[in-house]
Structure 1
Amino acid sequence: MRLVCFPHAGGAASAFLPLSRALGGHLDVLAVQYPGRQDRRREEPYGSIAAHADALAEAMVPLTGGTYALFGHSMGAVLAYETARRLVDAGRPGPCRVFLSGRGAPSPLPSVHDRLGGDREILTAVRGLGGTGHLVLDDPELLAMVMPALRADYGALGAYHWDGGSPLAAPVTVLIGDADPVVAVEEAAAWHDHTTGDFDLRILPGGHFYLDDRTDEVRDIITTSLLVAGSTV
């Protein structure tokens, strides 16, 4: 079975390397590489969640011939959700389960944490989230490389709003750190309203990037959840 992972704002596919290693022997883990970073750094980042999800759904079509699940963290959770909606709307087989991490449920209005006024506010917000990735912000050369992606990603999030529509039929597992500074447990629990399938909320010790320190626990949640869904892992 394939698990397709969607990184956070400003993040890259390499963010899921530890999880991929932990799941080795259980799942075929693929990670999305958004344009505007790492090996795709010369490509223009997407300026909206809708355009990004449209492209992701198109790229995912070849993977829908077999059983697959999605895992998205932070902005990646929004993209995993919107990609799943587009695949189903296009008549493609949907995911057997969707894992949504470090993100509150979508609403008609953008999250206050996504509406940032410029580079200074973006950098302050990213530093406040912690995680190993924020260390690149202290290197001027690395910062210059990541800022275009960060601007585009936060601009897309700041303009994103949920436009209604049918909930997912796929079961949903939501994961959140108990000390996440930007996502309250109640906001994460509200994903319940966006699925007609089984819903599971897992609260783990840690902040927004709890995944950095809880990789083995997340691995166990993923494998157990997929077994409960009736899939072979």
Structure 2
Amino acid sequence: MSVGAHRTAPSAVVDNDRWFRRYSVTAAPRRRLLVLPHAGGSASFFHAWGTAFDSGTEVLVARYPGRHDRLTDPCVDSMEELADRVTAALLPFLDVPVTLFGHSMGASLAYEVALRLHGRHAVRPAALHVSSRRPPHRLTPRELHKQGDEALIEEVRRLGGTDESLLTDPDLREIVLPAIRADFTIVGTYGPRDAAPVDCPVYAYIGDQDPSTSVHDMSDWSDVTTEGFHLDVLPGGHFYLVDHQETLVRTIADRLPPTD
């Protein structure tokens, strides 16, 4: 597989169900990668991933409601509802093996989607990739979502990964704050819960200077699988994947199921 030479593909299209931004391959897809963004994040954060994989891999990036081209859609502030809706939207795309990748809040969501695929639909994901987030049984409830706007903004700044102009411009901040608060409500009210197995290999990723999650935390993702676990530690903080995108994408690509 050649990952370094990024393929040229048509512009991303949005599926009719509005939940995924799809980066279609030139032929029938042989496998799919579903990417689930972080709290306050959007599909555009992972735009470069859309054409970073080989021609047999179709990339889907979740489009959470309440932001960008879903700005008028009501935000979802419950992990259960968000996981249910993402799973339902994913069902038409299960004709080929599906791998899940989630960053931060997206890691918890990817885990919940994996549970639903197997438990409700008898579909075993090819693998679960989780980034910068404690496993479900090691989470600590937080009430940041109950605090004022400035507390939320400071937490977003602390973690990094967000355009500063969205936080400092009053008009832009008013637009993005509802989605940020909804996402932090999900984060603050999810877990801890039992380490239910996902019945697929789990790969975990963490920056060695992450202010919110430790290497030890990420190693505990091994508790949710009996199908193999591997942890990669990269240089950087909570958004290590910005500076090390090429390394991360190549690593994930090497771990995708074969297309033969």
- Report the counterpart of residue 101 of structure 2 in structure 1: 71
Counterpart residue type for residue 182 of structure 1: S
Match of 1:155, SS state, is helix
Match of 1:65, SS state, is coil
Q: How many Å separate the matches in 2 of 1:113 and 1:69? A: 32
- Once the two structures are superposed, residues 120-150 of structure 1 have per-residue CA deviations (whole angstroms, 9 ceiling, x without a partner) of 2211110011224344212222111110000
- Once the two structures are superposed, residues 148-201 of structure 1 have per-residue CA deviations (whole angstroms, 9 ceiling, x without a partner) of 000111011111114326311110110111111111111111101011111010
* Contact 1:101-1:174 at 8 Å conserved across structures: yes
- Report the counterpart of residue 188 of structure 2 in structure 1: 158
Q: How many Å separate the matches in 1 of 2:101 and 2:242? A: 15
Q: TM-score, normalised by structure 2?
A: 0.83
Correspondent of 2:208 among 172, 178, 181: 178
- Once the two structures are superposed, residues 88-109 of structure 1 have per-residue CA deviations (whole angstroms, 9 ceiling, x without a partner) of 1113312101110111111275
Deviation at 1:231, TM superposition (A): 2.4
Q: How many Å separate the matches in 1 of 2:234 and 2:133? A: 14
Q: How many Å separate the matches in 1 of 2:144 and 2:200? A: 27
- Report the counterpart of residue 72 of structure 2 in structure 1: 42
Deviation at 1:39, TM superposition (A): 0.6
Q: TM-score, normalised by structure 1?
A: 0.92
* Contact 2:141-2:189 at 8 Å conserved across structures: no
Match of 1:89, SS state, is helix
* Contact 2:49-2:249 at 8 Å conserved across structures: yes
Counterpart residue type for residue 56 of structure 1: V
Structure 1 unmatched ranges of 5 or more: none
1:50-69 paired onto structure 2 within 5 Å: 50-69=80-99
- Indicate the structure with greater helix content: 1
Counterpart residue type for residue 84 of structure 2: D
The alpha-carbon distance between structure 1 residues 24 and 39, as it changes in their structure 2 partners (threshold 3 A), is farther
Correspondent of 1:202 among 221, 229, 232: 232
Correspondent of 1:121 among 132, 151, 162: 151
Structure 2 unmatched ranges of 5 or more: 1-30
* Contact 1:180-1:208 at 8 Å conserved across structures: yes
Aligned residues: 230
Q: How many Å separate the matches in 2 of 1:231 and 1:144? A: 45
| Larger Rg computed on CA atoms | 2
Counterpart residue type for residue 92 of structure 2: P
Once the two structures are overlaid, the 10-residue window that deviates more, 12-21 or 175-184, is 12-21
Identity of aligned residues (%): 40
Once the two structures are overlaid, the 10-residue window that deviates more, 2-11 or 90-99, is 90-99
- Greater relative contact order: 1 or 2 (C-alpha under 8 angstroms, separation 6 or more)? 1
